[in-house]
Structures are given as structure tokens and as C-alpha cells.
Amino acid sequence: MLLDLFTLADSALPTGGYAFSNGLESAVQMGLLRTPADLDAYLQTAIHTTATSEIPFINTCYTGDPIPANLTDILLAYDAMITAPAIARASAVQGRNLLRLMRDLYASDTMGRLYKTLLAQSAPAHYTIVLGATCRVAGLKRIPTCRVFMYQFLRDQISAAVRLGQIGPLEAARLQKRHHKTAITAIAAIANADHTRASRSAPQWDIAQGMHEYLYSRLFQS
């Protein structure tokens, strides 16, 4: 299972994560990230907000049936929490990509049914829920799945900062290593919460994400 987790965390996994900055690009253009210290504080906030808003949905995917009867309600609740259209589209695109990938990598009758059920929903198959649901069906444990999710988020944010010229590769590696502990702490704080306790607590980040579509020029899709 360790090698499977490495595969899911690898940047070569074709889900499209590197096309999205998750609001970092617009935060840069808004002048919120002028110094390395600003970026460090931004990552602290983004990690904790992501943990409180995303990890509870992954936790829910690991309770009850592998294909929960209230899957529609879970997807709608997640969809309602996303305030920026660009972020919602990014989540849906990455979710579909991951769903197809996991169907092929972990083929089974249950995975096939999950694939069809998620695509048949009235709400998009968002990435976070697809990751939680498919990893559970694939036999991966909850905590490692949460850690892979947070690692992917942190990696993509730092990679976006490098490509935007905010930091160099060496400082990127330092930030990645330093904030692994931040991510582990954030996961532990929300370990027993289900999706009904999910919350977003960084309105300035939400504003930055919402401003992305209005940028004159941009490198990322969100």
C-alpha cells in the first residue's frame, strides 16, 4: 500500500492539478504575497482552512457503505461550500480525471458501481469526494488518504509559487518540508469530524479565489 500511496502522491499522476493555483495566483496579483514571510503565512492559513473544509468530507467517505445512500446530499453540501466558480470547475475537472484513473488502477465491481453512481449525480463529482470514496474502495486507509490529499494540496501550492516567481526551488523544498508538520497537525485537529462539521475560515482567501476570473492575464486556470 505504501507504493500505491506514493503513486497517488506523485506529480506524474494525470489529474491536472498543476493547471490550478487554487487562488494563489490571484492573491499574488492582489498584492497579498509580497515577501517570503507573506507566502509562509499564506500557506499556514491555506493548509488549516483546507483541512477544516475538505478532510471532513474524506472522513465521511470512510463511514457507512462504500457507496453511501446520501451521496447526492454529500456532493451538494460540498458544492455549496465552494464560493468561486473557477474553483468549482477545477474541482469537477480533477474529480472526473481521478475517477477515470482510479477505475482503471483499482478495477472491481464496487469501483465500477461507484464510478457510474458518481457520474450520475446531479452535483459534480468533486475531487475531494472522489479521492475519499475511491481510495476507500481501493482498500487504502483513511489517515494515509487524508495525508496524501494534504500533500497534494501543499505540493501544488508551492509549485505554483515557484512558477509565479515568488520563490526558488531550494526555498520551495524548505517550505514543503516545514509545512508537512503543519498539515499533519491540521489533519489531527479535524480527524473525528464528518462533512456536517466542515467549515471555511479564511474569507480573504475566498475573495482571492473569486477574483481569479477577473485577472487581465493569468498562468493558471484557477
List, for residues 19-47, the tens digit of each pLDDT value: 888 889 999 999 999 988 999 999 999 99
Q: Are 21 and 161 in contact (CB under 8 A)?
A: no
Does the pLDDT value for residue 100 go beyond 80?
yes
Residue 23 lies in a domain: no
> What integer pLDDT is reported at residue 59 of this predicted model?
97
Confidence of residue 1 (pLDDT cuts 50, 70, 90): confident
Q: What is the pTM assigned to this prediction?
A: 0.94
Confidence of residue 86 (pLDDT cuts 50, 70, 90): confident
Confidence of residue 69 (pLDDT cuts 50, 70, 90): confident
Q: What is the CATH number of the domain that holds 208?
A: 1.10.4190.10
Residue 221 lies in a domain: no
Domain of residue 141: give its range: 34-214
Write the DSSP string, 22-79: TTHHHHHHTTS--SHHHHHHHHHHHHHHHHHHHHHHHHHHTSS-SS-TTHHHHHHHHH
Residue 18 lies in a domain: no
Residue 4 lies in a domain: no
> What integer pLDDT is reported at residue 68 of this predicted model?
87
> What integer pLDDT is reported at residue 10 of this predicted model?
85
> What integer pLDDT is reported at residue 203 of this predicted model?
87
Total domain count for the chain? 1
